[in-house]
Structure 1
Amino acid sequence: MSLQLMTDSACDLSRSYLTTNNVEVIPITLNHEEQVFQDGIDIQPEEVYRGMREGKVYKTSQISVQDFIDAFEPFAKTGEKVLHMSFSSGLSGTYNASVIAIEELKEKYPDSQIVSVDTKSASNGLGLIVYQTIQKRDQGAAYEELIDFVEERARQTEHIFTVDDLEYLRRGGRLSKGAAMVGNLLNIHPLIRLNDKGELEQFSKVRGRKKLFHEMIRIAKE
């Protein structure tokens, strides 16, 4: 019985790389005013970043239960095993939607074997887990081994990052307009991580770009 790896477009790996390595990608939806885009299909990350620098505001929508059913059902019909590596449940309802979809398909296809793992990761963190799982699969790991591997990597993966412009945190509702303005004027950079629940958490502030990178390197070495 064959095995299909799947993930969300939040992994930030190129679609060409994932296609070459036989990984199905379910796109997240982006909304700008009345326009709706599928991440990586109708719009590319470079376009989003450019638009944000120009002042455009993009909002994301979680992948729906029906989107997951549409993606999973062809494999449920054929009995192919599926391992889906999901965007953090602490940042989106996407993982919960995938679980509901699996439960609904289980009623229709009792013998289906579809597992979704909450990686509690995002962006390059999720991408790294997907990349390592591809390697593990290509080394001949069994389905159950891969599930255990992804769950282990979800516990071990650390995310530490910052932002150059606090305006983006303000737009996302995570910072007041006044705090963003003062922080930018004083060249203050927040250090942010994903906690054990996969939620964003500010744990420090550093003034000045040079000090920022020294601090990030120090933390990474600990």
Structure 2
Amino acid sequence: MPEIIIATESGSDLPEEIVRQYQIEVAPMHVIMNNVSYDDGHFPIDMVFDYFEETGKIPTTSAVNVQEYVDFWNDIRSRHPGCIIYHFTYSSNASSTHQHAVAARDQENFRDLYIIDTKSVSGGCTAHIEACCRILEKKRDRITDAAAAGALAEEFQALADRIECNFIPATLDYLRAGGRVSNGAYIAANVLRLKPLIEINREGFLVATKKFRGSMDKITDKFMQMFLQRHHLNHDTLYLMYGPGLSQSILDRMREIALENGFQRTVYVMTGCTISCHGGKGAIGLAGVTE
């Protein structure tokens, strides 16, 4: 029976305990500051915030490129000869990582390599990947040939349509600096103390929808209750996304609300450098798997 490896990119923001539990391989995306490229996940995230405060600009981000994917998978294969790899990419409509992964696979004619578009980011990727890891635990012994491996890849891909992921930036400063919010909208939002809800739709696009008014501690309950009422989630696990700098009291309240609503388990997912370049400090978010 071949060994099976789960792989992804750093933008999935997998908590370290999940990486260790399922022995997931993670390829770094990149963050560029002052013309220097840094591997996401390999430097303090405060560097992103310090750079913005010093320059008024957000760092730029770049996807894993084709050659990096080739090297990444070849390294896995050198350590796990004959393995099957299921690689989960950041949403194909939010980054070019998926397209680069497909190009690398086709260029090198990699066999037993399956690429799954999570159609999500950050905590949404985490929810998708962990759900697939649990499926794999139940079906691993049945993956004995190419047909079974391909069928499992199709099941993994289909699960992407059952992931719900929303988040709310604490500030629009980073979105404005990146050109995603106009100056007029930025000024109006600040005056009215508005914060946009960012939803990941079924195609994997990030879309601003509803607006919440007030401080993060005041909108947490409303946001969570709205999310939980709108989506019929599996109550096994709720993924609580947060940006560095969010207060512990809000983190505690998020977990409390999850438990009050019958979730058996919560997982904190800290937004990494890639998504924090756009969301900034102190964001909150939720992700889960629908029934």
Distance in 1, matches of 2:93 and 2:67, equals 21
Report the Cα distance in structure 1 between the residues aligned to 2:161 and 2:101, rounded to whole angstroms: 20
Letter in 1 for 2:135: K
Q: Structure 1 residues 181, 68: CA separation in 2 closer, same or farther (over 3 Å shift)?
A: same
Match of 2:106 among 103, 108, 124: 103
- The residue that corresponds to 1:34 in the other structure is 35
- Give the drift of 1:23: 1.0
Letter in 1 for 2:225: I
- Aligned-residue sequence identity (percent) comes to 27
Q: Is 2:200 the partner of 1:194?
A: yes
2:116 aligned counterpart, secondary structure: strand
C-alpha displacement at 1:16, in angstroms?
6.1
Distance 1:57 1:158, change over 3 A: same
Contact residue 80 and residue 113 of structure 1 kept, 8 A: yes
The answer as to 2:71 corresponding to 1:65 is no
Q: TM-score, normalised by structure 2?
A: 0.67
Give the distance between the partners of 2:18 and 2:57, measured in 1 at CA: 29
User: Deviation at 1:52?
Assistant: 4.4
Task: Report the residue type matching 2:58 in the other structure.
Answer: V
CA RMSD of superposed structures (Å): 2.4
Name which structure has the greater RCO, CA cutoff 8 Å, separation 6+.
2
Q: In structure 1, how many angstroms separate the alpha carbons of the residues matched to 2:189 and 2:22?
A: 43
Q: State the AA in 1 paired with 2:138.
A: Q
TM superposition shift of 1:163:
1.1
Q: Secondary structure at the match of 1:127?
A: helix
2:44 is aligned to 44
- Whether contact under 8 Å (1:9, 1:28) holds in the other structure is yes
Larger mean CA deviation between 151-160 and 69-78 belongs to 69-78
Distance 1:147 1:44 in 2: 34
Look up the SS of the partner of 1:178 in the other structure.
Answer: helix
Q: Is the Cα–Cα contact under 8 Å of residues 73 and 105 in structure 1 kept in the other structure?
A: no
Displacement, 1:19? 4.2
Aligned to 1:24: 25
Q: 1:157 to 1:19 in 2, by over 3 A?
A: same
Residue 183 of structure 1: CA displacement? 0.9
Aligned to 2:133: 134
Distance 1:14 1:62, change over 3 A: same
Change in Cα spacing, 1:115 to 1:201, as seen in structure 2 (3 Å) is same
* 1:182 alignment partner in structure 2: 188
Distance 1:174 1:88 in 2: 18
Instruction: Name the structure 2 match of 1:88.
Output: 91
Deviations 1:81-121 (A, max 9, x none): 11001000110010000000110111xx5xx1111111101
- Segments of structure 2 that go 5 or more residues without pairing to the other structure are 144-148, 231-291
Point out the more displaced range, 184-193 or 130-139.
130-139
Provide closer, same or farther for how the CA distance between residues 16 and 214 of structure 1 changes in structure 2, counting only shifts above 3 A: closer
Q: In structure 2, how many angstroms separate the alpha carbons of the residues matched to 1:151 and 1:34?
A: 36
Query: What residue in structure 1 maps to residue 117 of structure 2?
Result: 118
For structure 1, list consecutive stretches of 5 or more residues without a partner in the other structure.
none
CA gap 1:11/1:49 in 2 versus in 1, 3 angstroms = farther
CA distance in 1, matches of 2:115, 2:75: 16
**TM-superposition CA deviations, 1:139-181 (whole Å, max 9, x none):** 3433445423421321011111111111111122110123212
1:221 lines up with 2:224 in the alignment = no
1:147 match: secondary structure: helix
Contact 2:33–2:51 (CA under 8 A) maintained in structure 1: no
For 1:166 and 1:38, locate their aligned partners in 2 and report how far apart those are by CA, in whole Å. 25
Whether the 8 Å contact between 1:160 and 1:216 is mirrored in structure 2 is: no
What TM-score comes out, normalization by structure 1 length? 0.86
What CA deviation, in whole Å up to 9, does each residue of 1:31-55 have, x standing for no partner?
01122210112x1335435654665
Provide the rounded CA distance (Å) in 1 between the counterparts of 2:14 and 2:7: 12
Work out the CA distance in 1 between the residues paired with 2:62 and 2:36.
13
